[in-house]
Amino acid sequence: MTATKIHAAVCRKFGAPLTVEQLSLAAPGDGELQVRVAFCAICHSDIHYAAGAWGGRLPAVYGHEAAGVVEAVGAGVDGATVGDQVVVTLLRACGRCHHCARGESQVCGVKLALDRNSPLSDSDGNPVAQGLRTAAFAERTVVHHSQVVVIDKEMPLAAASLLACGVITGHGAVTNTAGVRPGSSTVTIGAGGVGLNCIQGAKACGAHANIAVDVSDAKLKAATAFGATHVVNPGMCDAKSEVRAITKGGADYVFVAVGITEAVEQGLTLLRRGGALVLVGMPAAGATARLEVLGIADKAQRILGSKMGAARIHVDIPQLIHSYRAGRLKLDELISARYPLAQINEAIAEVKRGAALRNLIAFE
C-alpha cells in the first residue's frame, strides 16, 4: 500500500490559528489500521495542546474524539475489518505490560511503532506529529488497533464520536474511578462537555443528591436536563454552605471536571468526612493546588486521579451505546454545532468562549 494524501488541520506554532494543509499519510503497518474520519469533536485537551499548555512536538495534528469507517487494515489486526464503523480513541495500549494486565490500560506507557514514527508528513517530507496519538482533525488517520472499538452500523457516527473522550472521561470517573454507590451524594464542579457526563453517570449510579456547580446559568440549565437534582452558582451564593445544606455536611464524592486548580481546593471544602475528591479536568503542566494535609488524613478523605474515566474502551463503549439506545444516556444533546474542517478555528473559538458543549468537525 502507498501513502494517501489527506487534508488536516496543522498546528505549526502554539497559540497561532491552525492551518488546513495537505499531508501525506503512510499506509497502516503491523497492528495498525486506517480510518476515514466521519466526525471529530473538539475537546478542551486539543485547545490546551494547541495553546502550548502541555508542550509536545510541532508541527502536530490534534483531534482525538472521533468516529469513522475502517478503510485499510495492516497485518496482525483482528477484530476490525474494512467497512467497520469504529470509535477512535487516544488510548493506545500494548496489551501486555503490568498496567494492561491489571486492566489499567489507560496508563499503559509502552511506546509502540506509531509513538516512534508518525505516519504523517508534510509536502516537504518533514514529519508531522500525531497529537494526542490520534490526529483526527484530518480526513483520515492511522492508529493502533487497540485504540478503536467496532460499533454496529446503526449507531450514528456523530453521537459515537463523543464516546471517544468526553463521555467516557466524565461517565467513567463516576462509574469506574469512584464507583459511586446508590444513595450517594455527588457534586460536579463544571457542567461542560465532561461535567455533564459526570452528572449523567451519577444519575445512572443512583446518586440521590446530584449537585452541579458552575458559574454559567446556561450550563446549570443543561445540568438539570442531564440529571442534576440541585444546581449551585458560586457567583450568586456561597457554594460551600449551599452544598453542606443539601448534603447535610458534605458530599460523598466531588468531581472536579474543570482544569482549574482553585476548583480542586474548593472541591475539598465540599466533601464530607471519608469522602472522595476525584480529579477529572487537567490544568496546565506544573500547576499546583494548596491542600491542608492534616485535614485530609484526619477526615480519612481520598483524592483520586481519573484519566479518561479509567475506561476499558472495549467494555465501556458498547455498554454506553446500549444505554444511549435505551434512552438512558444523552449524546445528541451534547452536540452544539457541526463545522467543516476549513472552519476549525471558528469552531475552536466558540468552545473557548464557553458557548458550546461539543462542536464537531464533520467530514461527511
| Interface contacts to Zn ion, rule CB under 5 A | 43, 45, 93-94, 97, 100, 108, 110, 165
CB of 100 to Zn ion, least distance (A): 3
CB of 2 to Zn ion, least distance (A): 31
User: 100: how many CB neighbours lie within 10 A of its CB?
Assistant: 17
Q: Supply 76's cell numbers.
A: 496482525
CB of 355 to Zn ion, least distance (A): 18
CB of 160 to Zn ion, least distance (A): 15
CB of 108 to Zn ion, least distance (A): 3
Question: Of the two residues 26 and 280, which places its CB atom closer to Zn ion in the complex?
Answer: 280
Question: Of the two residues 20 and 94, which places its CB atom closer to Zn ion in the complex?
Answer: 94
- Measured distance CA(215)–CA(258) in Å, rounded: 12
Assign 3-class secondary structure to 216-271: CHHHHHHHHHCCCCEEECCCCCCHHHHHHHHHCCCEEEEEECCCCHHHHHHHHHCE
Question: Of the two residues 153 and 314, which places its CB atom closer to Zn ion in the complex?
Answer: 314
CB of 169 to Zn ion, least distance (A): 6
Give every CB contact of residue 349 below 8 A, 6+ residues apart in sequence: none
Question: Of the two residues 45 and 301, which places its CB atom closer to Zn ion in the complex?
Answer: 45
Question: Of the two residues 65 and 242, which places its CB atom closer to Zn ion in the complex?
Answer: 65
CB of 6 to Zn ion, least distance (A): 21
CB of 40 to Zn ion, least distance (A): 11
Question: Of the two residues 34 and 45, which places its CB atom closer to Zn ion in the complex?
Answer: 45
Question: Of the two residues 302 and 307, which places its CB atom closer to Zn ion in the complex?
Answer: 307
Question: Of the two residues 232 and 351, which places its CB atom closer to Zn ion in the complex?
Answer: 351
**Residue (of 121, 140, 136, 42) closest to 90 by Cα position:** 136
